[in-house]
């Protein structure tokens, strides 16, 4: 005799292995004894499936038991992203007052790493970040980290309006370092320029330049404003800002870029000799000297005429 054990679907509901017609034929052929055989086989099948389910559950609980955060660290090191996410989510669902604050913050950071590593949509990160922001709204230092991440994700999704709102909130936080404030103003201005809000972007950079900090610290705000003025063909403003940068003890890379802007502006203002001199001074510091070589050759040829 061949026995066919009935199947179960994912939720444990019994799925008969035979059609009603075949069962009806079996009853006609064998009568009541067949009914008892079917019942016994059903019982055996259910018992086997229950054992299997318990075994699977036991394996899963073994993986999830113990210190969730420690287990999550191990799962991350093994690149088991799904398991790590479940462990971290369960850890974070626990009452905050029963957990170490630094460990909880670590769990949130790990969760963001896991979501990104698993290749999930950026929107998944945003959902976690919004929950984090609500939890840490009274902690400016950690809110700054969260808002920066939120702004960057929105930028990557081209949600510039939302990014503007977030950068505005970011620079309004207390306790930011000078570098964080400057970076916040620059990123806010960049988003405003992306939205073609040129006046608003320039105002933001002017706020940056008005900060009570040495010019050397604000030099990249100067560069952004000079670059924007270049796009709007405000040549004298470009020349003035470039000179201010060159007077602010810039590093070599910035010196090269400021020198290029200065030379370009002077050429546009009809001051070819001064422009040539600035190009020559900026050449070795500029990231792409061949570009300046072409400008130098052009000006030398122009001045010989």
Q: Token digits for 55?
A: 């075994």
Measured distance CA(234)–CA(99) in Å, rounded: 57
Q: What pLDDT, on the 0 to 100 scale, is given for residue 95?
A: 65
Number of domains the chain is built from: 2
Is 202 contained in some domain? Answer: no
Domain final residue, candidates 65, 90, 115: 65
Cβ burial 88-115 (10 Å sphere, 16+ → b, else e):
beebbeeeeeeeeeeebbbbbebbbebb
Task: Tell me what pLDDT residue 300 has.
Answer: 94
- We report the CATH number of the domain holding residue 304 as 1.25.40.10
Whether residue 204 lies inside any domain: the answer is no
Domain boundary among 19, 50, 65: 65
Which tokens hold the place of 193? 């320029």
Residue at 295 is within a domain: yes
Instruction: DSSP for 71-109, please give it.
Output: HHHHHHHTT-HHHHHHHHHHHHHS-GGGS-HHHHHHHHH
Location of structure tokens 């050397």: 216
Range of 297's domain? 214-305
Q: Whose CA is closest to 251, among 296, 205, 286, 209? A: 286
pLDDT at 103: 87
Instruction: Report the C-alpha gap between 110 and 29 in whole angstroms.
Output: 64
The pLDDT profile of the chain, 305 residues, written as one tens digit per residue, is 333 333 334 333 333 333 333 333 333 343 433 334 334 444 444 444 444 444 444 444 444 444 888 888 888 788 888 888 888 888 888 867 667 888 899 999 999 999 888 777 788 889 999 999 999 999 999 999 999 999 999 999 999 999 999 999 999 999 999 999 999 999 999 999 999 999 999 999 999 999 999 999 999 999 999 999 999 999 999 999 999 999 998 999 999 999 999 999 999 999 999 999 999 999 999 999 999 999 999 999 999 87
Whether 78 is in a domain gets the answer no
Phi, psi angle pair for 43, to nearest 5°: -65, -45
pLDDT for the residue numbered 73: 86
- Predicted pLDDT of residue 244: 95
**41, 65, 89: which is the final residue of a domain?**
65
Cα–Cα distance, 150 to 43 (Å, whole number)? 55
Contact 128, 111 (CB under 8 A): yes
What is the pTM (predicted TM-score) of this model? 0.72
């Amino acid at each position: 005799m061949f026995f066919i054990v009935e199947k179960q679907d994912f939720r444990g509901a019994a799925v008969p292995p035979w059609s009603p017609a075949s069962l009806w034929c079996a009853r006609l052929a064998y009568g009541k004894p067949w009914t008892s055989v079917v019942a016994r086989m059903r019982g055996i099948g259910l018992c086997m499936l229950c054992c299997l389910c318990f075994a699977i559950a036991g394996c899963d609980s073994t993986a999830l038991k113990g210190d969730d955060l420690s287990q999550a660290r191990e799962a991350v090191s093994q690149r088991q992203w799904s398991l790590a996410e479940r462990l971290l989510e369960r850890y974070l669902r626990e009452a905050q007052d029963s957990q170490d604050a630094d460990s909880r913050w670590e769990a949130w950071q790990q969760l963001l790493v896991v979501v990104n590593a698993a290749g999930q949509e950026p929107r998944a990160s945003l959902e976690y970040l919004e929950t984090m922001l609500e939890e840490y709204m009274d902690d400016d230092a950690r809110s700054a980290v969260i808002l920066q991440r939120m702004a960057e994700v929105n930028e990557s999704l081209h949600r510039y309006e939302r990014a503007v709102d977030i950068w505005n909130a970011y620079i309004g936080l207390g306790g930011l370092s000078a570098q964080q404030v400057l970076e916040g103003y620059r990123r806010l201005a960049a988003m405003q320029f992306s939205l073609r809000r040129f006046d608003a972007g320039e105002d933001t950079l002017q706020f940056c330049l008005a900060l009570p900090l040495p010019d050397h610290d604000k030099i990249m705000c100067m560069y952004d404003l000079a670059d924007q003025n270049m796009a709007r063909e405000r040549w004298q403003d470009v020349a003035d800002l470039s000179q201010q940068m060159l007077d602010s003890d810039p590093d070599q890379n910035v010196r090269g870029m400021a020198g290029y802007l200065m030379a370009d502006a002077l050429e546009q203002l009809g001051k070819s000799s001064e422009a040539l001199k600035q190009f020559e001074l900026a050449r070795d510091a500029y990231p792409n000297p061949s570009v300046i070589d072409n400008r130098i050759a052009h000006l030398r040829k122009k001045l010989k005429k």
